[in-house]
Amino acid sequence: MGEFKVHRVRFFDYMPSGIRAIAFNRQTERIAVARVDGSVEIFTILYNLFQEKVIPGKEQRSIEALCWVGERLFSVGLSGEIIEFDLHNLRPRFTIDAYGGPIWTITANPQGTHLAVGCEDGTVKLFEILEDKIQFERNLDRKKGRILSLSWHPSGTKIAAGMMDMIRVFDVKTGHAIHRLLVDKAAGAPRDQECVVWSVVYLSNDTVISGDSSGKVKVWDALTGTLIKNHDVTKWDVLALSLSQDETSLVAGTSEGTVVQFQFLSSVLGKEDKEWVRTRTFKNHTHDVRALAEMDTAIISGGLDTQLVVRPLLEKHDVKSQASALRKAQFPHRRLVSCAKKAQLLLFQYPSHLELWRLGEGEEEGTPGEKVPVRRIPEKLLQLKAKGEEHIFCSAVSPCGEWLVYSTTSSLRLYKLQYENNNISITKVSKLPKVLRWAHQLCFSADSSQLFAASGRSSVHMVSLNPEGCKHKHTFKPKNGSTQPIHLLTVSENGLWLATANSDCEVHIYSLSTLKSHCTVPVYRSGVSAMAIHPTKNNLFIAHADQQVFEFSIELEQYTDWSRKVQREGLHLKWLERDTPIMNVTFNPRNPDHIILHDMYMFCVLDQSLPLPDKKSQFFNQLTLKSLPEQERKTRCHAFKVCKLFQPLMCVDVLEDHSLVVVERSLLDIVAKLPAPVKQKKFAT
Amino acid sequence: MAALFEGSTLCALSVAQNCTESGIEGIELKGDDDHVVVTDSTRSITVYKVSDQKPLGSWTVKQGQRITCPAVYNSKTREYVVVTDDKVIRVWKDDDISLDKAFKATVSSDVWRVHSAPDQEPVVLFRRGAVQLLDSLLAEPQQDVENILSEEEVIRWSTLVTSGKQQWILYITEHKGEHCLHVQSLGNMSRVAYRLEGTGSTSLSYSVSPRSGNLHILSLYPDGCVYESIVPMRLPEGVEGKVLPLPRTLLLMLPLGEGELASASAVPLDSAHVAVVGVPHPSAGAGKDYLCIWNTNFQTLQAGKEMAGRIYGQLWCYCGKLYVPHGKALSVIPFECQKSSLAAAMGKLKQPGGCELNPPVPVASWGAVTQEQTSASAVETRKNRLTRKSQGASAIAVDQLIELIKTGSEDQVHKAMTSFLSKSDLPGLQLAVGNLASALVTRSLEEPSFYPHKVLVQLVHTKCLCHSVCPDLLKLALEKKDSALCQFCLQVFPDIPEAITCACLKAFLSTPDSELETVTLETDSVAYMEGLSAVTVQEKEENETQQNGFSTPAAAEENSSEAQHPLHQKPKLASSMSLDMTRPVGLHKAVLLNEILQTPYSDSFLLPHLKDLSAPQVILFLQYLQFLYVKYYQEINTQVPALRSPTMTQIIDWVCMLVDAHFTVLVMAPEAKELLAGLHSFVKAQMRLFTGLGKIEGSLHALKKAKPSKDNSQYSIEVIELF
């Protein structure tokens, strides 16, 4: 089919941040994940695990706990503040200081009327949840020692609080402590070492279950204040507990990276006397499992090894399906690399700085499977530190490489770059139009004359760029008045069309010539993970998180025949079973039928002129084809040409000289940079 | 979990020394769960109160009379019923003192058993299969009883099963080594016969439990396997007179240790537990005097108890108590089975505790499938129907052909078969070929003069046949000394049991070469053997040095350095052996032995059978293996092309197994000494070679490692090609 010259780039030192807290919203089936760097991510578990929204972190913000109340998301952290997030504008909605020192935990009562937060000074503070704010109501009796974990009784009348060396049960009405449950230290621990109750769970049958730093999961009777059962789970800490909704299953996350499941069972079938029995152990993490959530059919876990794991409970799945597969989210499902096609530049986005690299050059000719001698090595042109404490939200470099833009949650900065021989000068564009205060997504037009910035309420600002200054030309707004944030922006090569995709799975197409909304693509159930407009055919190619692909003709305002054929014949099972969403769509300039797609583990050249693979044919057939003679290849090849030579991939793009650039980030390198896991005795060590 | 509790002795047994019978004819419940009626096979019937271990009453028949069936208690009329001397039914009550004065009636036919269930009329089962209610029989004792079973068919076991208001009499008969289960419903008196699978070995015990609409029949075989067969309670209609196949599933494989079971018994306790007596405890050596409870879901031993004295293979279970006669006592052992919730927790049990209504018998037997003709079903896809049609067409031809096979001459059969095979398409062929082969083999076994060699070869060549479809084919071929057919079977069948492989091996080794040379064998393998032998000659002519690293100087040097070694009396043994080695067996025998080497096997099953070989056979075979082994090393770079040839590993495995199986024999036999010594030094030389190779591998690996791999560089430009 063809040869490609590939720039294989491994100098993007992307480093994900550890997971600190997870909250699962059963109504909306969304998972909120807080990371150590203060960022919050919203995943949906409908149709594969997909990262829908990202709220960037801040230098001093550290989130200790997350809590959903309806569709509102609250967090607390060691800064002592309670933050509610605005999930439409992807920024904190308000911040309230609890005046109790660092806050370790937050939890809402099952009725959804009050929030309880546990503070360093030993107070449990109750806040009333109001329409658009929260209001401090009162403190429960203050005790010495920090409050590390809280759990409401399902009736909302009692609260169990995990503290140092003990658990207290409070009556919410009076505010007095009813019980004090003393937790033992680990055997052989020094006398002055306290036992930290990292997590408590209060069950409706007045049982309290605690996980502590001595590695034990303890089951207490909260009515009598007695210990019923003690499970020795690990030599290290039990950091997190999570209870299933029907209160028959409990999972505990440990420092060893294991997740241990307990089930409420009777030892004899059919008898009533049930007890908590340790049943299964899952090991999907290498480091501390700091956060857990139990869905009905799966366990979500995350920890310091930065990956989010959705581990299905196989007894709850009758058939093998996408829902019954183990899923891991290791890389963000959005692009952190932007590529200046003409100037052969790569812009890497780190949380608080940007790096601009110029790709190297090699000899023109090379034989397939071989490396080409590199004539000029790649060069880091620029390292730009973001101003302020806030982390970078999004960034872009223009195709000509002369403009560079990034945005945090509160500010947007545009730079003009000038290259003189080997010198590069950077000047900040000072006078930006007032509308450009911040952006959810940024993108330049192909001729680098315009900047598009996605802003609140799904609107897009169009700004023309001139060396003299920038001018706001138009703001595109969706007709339906959607309030969801835009996470994808793409402009056609000829500068006529703009397409946006937002978190409500809506794709809007605007005409840049008439400056009007052109049409809307029919809404598909699953989120858009990548899209692009074909340079010559003006078809919008859309990849969804559930691995479906569509091609929409902008001019005809309908799906193309090819897209209909795909839907009619169905995609190959191997394609649908892939784990990670398509992260980028580009086109091969040499052949208009070629669409280049990539996810974390492969990139694929989709040849629309070839037949689709049928159900029985071999999907990954590159090796087979290679071994066949020329004539036979024709009969065996199909539209999906998958290349797994490079992985894990952060970005695949096509440069103007028709060569590919792939950005790899080795998972081993990431693991190597993580702090050492707890030491475990292995055989013969 | 299940548990066996401390038992008590109900009564002593009057057993003679070394008697294999316990002397207990049967134990039946008397009304409630605390009284049992124990029938002694000598002459007495005793009623015991189990909780007190106290006899409440005892009756004895006169000298000269014989109790031929265990006494039962009719709780409706509060009477006991027993049969003496096969034909005399005696009925008496608790207050009758002597049996002689009790009511008796003589019936016209021999009675096998009287069965009784609480609050139901007792049922009489006659030796010839007729079933009658006791009261209707006693109303007219001399009435004619119809004969259902033939003269030779003997009842081995029978029982009465009650579920709800329905009752069934089940009995198993044996006729010419074939076992049949007869199920007779007492409601509408319909009767269905099933042929039990796996005839050949006789089951040690049977037991039945009614469960969710089906009757589960448990049988324990001498090889320690517990099988379960399922019969629907609602008997199939319109099958009067037919014998249906009854598939069985392996429920439990009991660890046996050594030898087969002689007297053992298994009784189901609930849906997941089986009590077994007379089988060794897996962790307590080979003694068989244990009573164990096994969980059939997880194949785990739940409880075990050692029973003192001899076990008679008898076991009864009533109302949570097991009755075991052992040694000189009859013990009553209470037990408890709890359903574990483990299966539910692990998602293995879908409806914990819920009553599931099973659909009638799942057909899970290949035998049944081959027997059954295609049944038309309403919901068939078109494609399916098409294939059915073609199957139907060939099935008619198959039927005709089978008829022909039963009567026709060899030539006729051969012609018909050729035309049939040329016409048939593949999907139906598998079934047809199996049926045809079975028919041919059956006829050949019955009629010694009939042996259609060509037809059988033809059938084997279709590659649609395997050993389990027609297990007698290979045996037949061996019997008829048809080495050519044996060769084809060994090549084609993927599932030959180790015992048969060994039998073939033995037959090949014992047949004189002269006899084998006249047989026409497959040309490819013969050519291969010829080639192999020719290589030696050629090789010898060309040069004396070995090319594959097997150097004679090395062997010689080694020998000189270990001069005292007793095995090296002939220092040049290894080298001389490798050069002048002549094939120890004839060409055709070698070809056949090669086939044996290439059959799949499992060594743990093969080893016991290998021991059957005689010492000369072992030595001959070992010589041949050594010949092959040496030849392979010489011939490594002048490979003889062949489709099938034994691999080096196969040869070495067989040598190991042979030496393993006959170690003592080989050590003792003087003629084996030289052979073993030669083998030893050759292997030793090989070992030296491989150590050397290992060293080279190590250093090459290190070289490769030392080469800096550029793969971890930060940046590269590569060219890839997609197809």
pLDDT of residue B98: 81
Could you tell me how many residues make up chain B?
A: 723
pLDDT at A581 over 80: yes
pLDDT at B451 over 70: yes
pLDDT of residue B16: 66
* CA of B350 vs chain A CAs: smallest distance (Å): 9
Look at residue B266 and give its three-state secondary structure. Answer: strand
pLDDT at A406 over 80: yes
Which of A266, A368, A371 lies nearest to residue B721, judging by beta carbons?
A: A368
Contact A643 B720 (CB under 8 A): yes
Confidence of residue A444 (pLDDT cuts 50, 70, 90): very high
Q: Which of the pair, A323 or B160, is modelled with greater confidence?
A: B160
pLDDT of residue A84: 94
pLDDT at B363 over 50: no
Share of chain A above pLDDT 90, in %: 58
pLDDT at A683 over 90: no
- Short-list A616, A660, A657, CA closest to A638: A616
Q: Which of the pair, B289 or A417, is modelled with greater confidence?
A: A417
If you measure CA to CA, which chain A residue comes closest to B354? A270
pLDDT at A221 over 50: yes
pLDDT in tens, A249-295: 999 999 999 999 999 988 777 777 888 999 989 999 989 999 999 98
Mean pLDDT of B248-265: 81
Mean pLDDT of A45-57: 89
pLDDT of residue A136: 93
pLDDT of residue A481: 84
Contact B341 A626 (CB under 8 A): no
Which residue is listed with tokens 């971890």?
Answer: B712
Q: What is the ipTM of this complex?
A: 0.81
Cα–Cα distance for residue pair A495/A451, rounded to 1 Å: 11
* Partners of A126 in the β-ladder: A116, A138
- Mean pLDDT (chain A, rounded): 90
* CA of B721 vs chain A CAs: smallest distance (Å): 4
Across A377-421, the runs of DSSP E, i.e. the strands, are 379-385, 394-397, 403-407, 412-420
Contact B723 A366 (CB under 8 A): no
Share of chain A above pLDDT 70, in %: 99
* CA of B640 vs chain A CAs: smallest distance (Å): 28
Q: Which of the pair, B349 or B254, is modelled with greater confidence?
A: B254
User: What does DSSP say about strands A361-362 and A374-376: parallel, antiparallel, or unpaired?
Assistant: antiparallel
pLDDT in tens, A407-426: 999 899 999 999 887 788 99
Which of A270, A378, A643 lies nearest to residue B339, judging by beta carbons?
A: A270
pLDDT of residue A460: 93
pLDDT in tens, A664-673: 998 888 888 8
pLDDT of residue B76: 83
Q: Which of the pair, B538 or A149, is modelled with greater confidence?
A: A149
Cα–Cα distance for residue pair B448/B191, rounded to 1 Å: 37
Contacts by residues A215-220 (CB-CB < 8 Å, ≥ 24 positions apart): A215/A186, A215/A254, A216/A186, A217/A241, A217/A250, A217/A252, A217/A260, A217/A262, A218/A183, A219/A275, A219/A276, A220/A167, A220/A181
pLDDT of residue A396: 94
Q: Which of the pair, B357 or B444, is modelled with greater confidence?
A: B444
Q: Would you state the structure tokens that stand for residue A215, as one six-digit string?
A: 């590695």
pLDDT of residue A439: 92
pLDDT at B295 over 70: yes
Q: Which of A231-245, B239-253, B261-275, B661-675 has the lowest mean pLDDT?
A: B239-253
Contact A279 B714 (CB under 8 A): no
pLDDT of residue B343: 61
pLDDT in tens, A158-182: 999 999 989 999 999 999 999 999 9
pLDDT at B552 over 50: no
Q: Which of the pair, A304 or B243, is modelled with greater confidence?
A: A304
Mean pLDDT of B698-704: 87
Provide the residue ranges of all domains of chain A, joining segments of one domain with +.
18-140
Confidence of residue B545 (pLDDT cuts 50, 70, 90): very low
* CA of A154 vs chain B CAs: smallest distance (Å): 25
pLDDT at B390 over 50: no
pLDDT in tens, A93-117: 999 999 989 999 999 999 999 999 9
Cα–Cα distance for residue pair B679/A581, rounded to 1 Å: 62
Q: Which of the pair, A230 or B145, is modelled with greater confidence?
A: A230
If you measure CA to CA, which chain A residue comes closest to B349? A315
Confidence of residue B536 (pLDDT cuts 50, 70, 90): low
User: What does DSSP say about strands A2-9 and A660-664: parallel, antiparallel, or unpaired?
Assistant: parallel
pLDDT of residue B707: 62
Amino acid (one-letter) located at B368: A
- Mean pLDDT (chain B, rounded): 78
Look at residue A248 and give its three-state secondary structure. Answer: coil
pLDDT in tens, B561-592: 443 444 433 334 444 444 456 788 888 888 88
Mean pLDDT of B675-691: 88
Look at residue A100 and give its three-state secondary structure. Answer: coil
Q: Which of the pair, A683 or A218, is modelled with greater confidence?
A: A218
Mutate to test the interface with A, among B711, B718, B721 (most CBs of A within 10 A): B718
Could you tell me how many residues make up chain A?
A: 685
pLDDT at A31 over 90: yes
Contact between residue A56 and residue A390 where contact means Cβ atoms under 8 Å apart: yes
pLDDT of residue A259: 94
Share of chain B above pLDDT 70, in %: 81
Residues of B in Cβ contact (< 8 Å) with A10 = 713-715
Confidence of residue B560 (pLDDT cuts 50, 70, 90): very low
Question: At CA B335, angle to CA B330 and CA B337, rounded to 5?
Answer: 150
pLDDT at B82 over 50: yes
Confidence of residue B75 (pLDDT cuts 50, 70, 90): confident
pLDDT of residue B396: 52
CB distance from B381 to chain A under 8 Å? no
CB distance from B713 to chain A under 8 Å? yes
pLDDT at B447 over 60: yes
Q: Would you state the structure tokens that stand for residue B414, as one six-digit string?
A: 């051969």
Confidence of residue A337 (pLDDT cuts 50, 70, 90): very high
pLDDT of residue B370: 43
Confidence of residue B377 (pLDDT cuts 50, 70, 90): very low
Residues of A in Cβ contact (< 8 Å) with B353 = 269-270
pLDDT of residue A513: 92
Strand order in the sheet with A441-444: A441-444, A450-454, A460-465, A470-476
pLDDT at B480 over 70: yes
Q: What is the fold of A18-140? A: Methylamine Dehydrogenase; Chain H (2.130.10)
- Short-list A59, A72, A67, A87, CA closest to A23: A67
pLDDT at B264 over 60: yes
Question: At CA B495, angle to CA B493 and CA B497, rounded to 5?
Answer: 115
pLDDT at B514 over 90: no
pLDDT in tens, B89-107: 888 888 887 888 888 888 8
Residues of A in Cβ contact (< 8 Å) with B715 = 7-11, 360, 374, 377-378
pLDDT in tens, B464-478: 888 888 888 888 888
Instruction: Report the Cα A241 to chain-centroid distance in Å.
Output: 22
Which of A266, A368, A622 lies nearest to residue B719, judging by beta carbons?
A: A368
pLDDT in tens, A7-22: 999 999 999 999 999 9
Q: Which of A148-157, A457-466, B34-43 has the lowest mean pLDDT?
A: B34-43
Q: Which of A488-492, A602-606, A634-638 has the lowest mean pLDDT?
A: A634-638
Share of chain B above pLDDT 90, in %: 2
Q: Would you state the structure tokens that stand for residue B333, as one six-digit string?
A: 């052992």
If you measure CA to CA, which chain A residue comes closest to B348? A315
pLDDT at B312 over 50: yes
